[in-house]
Structure 1
Amino acid sequence: MAKPYRLPDFKKIYPEASEEVISVLKITERKMQYQEYDLKAEQTIIDEEKQTVTVIPSREDSYERLKEAAVQFTSQVPGPEELVIRKLEEEQLHRAVSCLSDDDQYLILQLYFEERTERWLAAELGCSQNAVNKRRQQILKKLRRMLENF
């Protein structure tokens, strides 16, 4: 690629190319320069009459540089409505899980709250991983039906 803001002489590089191809090459090269330099470089404008210097920041910046400059990002904290809804859903889920048999509760608690794998649980229970998976799916169906009724 050529130096910034200088388009190469495509007629010298590709003497057999038509004017149409040369035109497309120039447009493409300029677009590449725009992506590589214009968006990423800040511009400094010096007004000699007013004795001022204006810095226009780049339109694209790296996350690391923004962190170094201590730029604060908005956090994705849920709003109060979402928190209330989430709390109600959690309560409903806990009520539904408490209605399950002890064996079903154990399986759900191990898989979802203790973050055990189906394979680990299958080894503990002395059955296949497919059996644990099938049982988990049945329990989840049961929970969904319970939650619809709450």
Structure 2
Amino acid sequence: MAKPYRIPDYRKLYPEASEEVIAVLKTTERKMQYQEYDLKAEQAIVDQDGQTVTFIPSREDSYKRLLEQDVYFVETTDSMEETAIRNIQSQQLHKALSLLTDDERDLIEQLFFEERTERDLAVEYGLSQRGINKRKQRILKHLRELLKKI
């Protein structure tokens, strides 16, 4: 593992190695230092003329350091309760969909699962877009009533 800002004397460690190998070892060591220390360390730049000190924050932070600075992350996964509720609602919806007539189920499947537009379906069924919309609203109202009963 790299030690901060200290490149070992590879000539002493590997006396039989060629200059090419020594150069690669030094380059690799410097890259390791850059990744392990330079990216994670803050830097202070002192301007002697202006008598100012500028701090440049690290470009990479560890989770531990962020917690020390009271930086917290929002949990993006759902809780077990939310997952269970969503599963129950999904089961109820599938049960209610199965209680619809074939024509009603077909319209809902095309609008919501196949993401077809009301206008497309109106052309296919030979109806107006408003007629498809009214059918959809009637079916959704019927679904809500079925869900209340389930």
Tell me the TM-score range normalised by the shorter chain.
0.5 to 0.7
Separation in 2, partners of 1:140, 1:122: 18
The code of the aligned residue for 2:91 comes to: E
- Residue in 2 aligned with 1:82? 82
1:105-116 to 2 correspondence within 5 Å? 105-116=105-116
- Residue in 2 aligned with 1:136? 136
SS in 2 for 1:85: helix
Identity in percent? 51
Give the alignment's TM-score, normalised by structure 1.
0.53
Query: Displacement of 1:55 after TM fit?
Result: 4.4
Q: Give the CA RMSD over aligned residues.
A: 3.2
- Residue in 2 aligned with 1:120? 120
Separation in 1, partners of 2:112, 2:141: 15
Separation in 1, partners of 2:121, 2:83: 32
1:1-150 to 2 correspondence within 5 Å? 44=44, 55=55, 57=57, 69=60, 74=74, 76-150=76-150
Cα distance change on mapping 1:54 and 1:79 into 2, 3 Å: farther
The code of the aligned residue for 1:131 comes to: G
Separation in 1, partners of 2:99, 2:145: 12
Separation in 2, partners of 1:71, 1:107: 52
Greater C-alpha radius of gyration: 2
**Residues 30-60 of structure 1, C-alpha deviations (whole Å, 9 max, x = no match):** xxxxxxxxxxxx98477xxxxxx994749xx
Separation in 2, partners of 1:70, 1:110: 48
Query: Displacement of 1:133 after TM fit?
Result: 0.3
**Residues 52-76 of structure 1, C-alpha deviations (whole Å, 9 max, x = no match):** x994749xxxxxxx8xx58886552
User: Which consecutive residues of structure 2, in runs of 5 or more, have no partner in the other structure?
Assistant: 1-41, 47-52, 64-72
**Residues 104-131 of structure 1, C-alpha deviations (whole Å, 9 max, x = no match):** 0000000001111111111111111000
SS in 1 for 2:77: coil
**Residues 79-116 of structure 1, C-alpha deviations (whole Å, 9 max, x = no match):** 11101100100110010011000000000000001111
Separation in 2, partners of 1:44, 1:71: 19
User: Which consecutive residues of structure 1, in runs of 5 or more, have no partner in the other structure?
Assistant: 1-41, 47-52, 59-65
Equivalent pairs counted in the alignment come to: 94
The code of the aligned residue for 1:136 comes to: K
Give the alignment's TM-score, normalised by structure 2.
0.53
